[in-house]
Copies of this chain bind each other. A is one copy, B any other.
Amino acid sequence: MDDQAKQNAINRLKSAVGHLQGIVNMLEKDTYCIDVIKQIQAVESALEKTSQLILDSHLHTCVTTAIKGDDSNERERVLSEVVEVFKWR
């Protein structure tokens, strides 16, 4: 992954950590359940954006290198990994 994408992803994950710690506080203070669920869903959205960012960098680096390379097994492996994370649930 290039350095900018890496730093961006790290910052987003650290922000998600802070968000989750805030949600723990909300629960300890007996915040209304629906408000807690909405905050958890906001963290999930932030995590998905982070995954998207990492995938973008991955496509520009490893996937591009593998496709340009001569090793067809490596190409297959790399492409099948992208398909695998595409829909993961």
**Interface of A toward B, CB cutoff 8 Å:** 1, 6, 9-10, 13-14, 16-17, 20-21, 23-24, 27-28, 30, 32-34, 36-38, 40-41, 43-45, 47-52, 54-64, 67-68, 75, 79-89
Contacts and interface: CB of A to CB of B under 8 A. Distances in A.
Please give the count of copies of this chain that the complex contains.
4
Contact of A44 (B37, B44, B57): B44
DSSP majority for the A interface? helix
Contacts of A64: 67, 75
A75 B63 CA distance: 12
A23 to B, nearest CB: 6
A55 B10 CA distance: 28
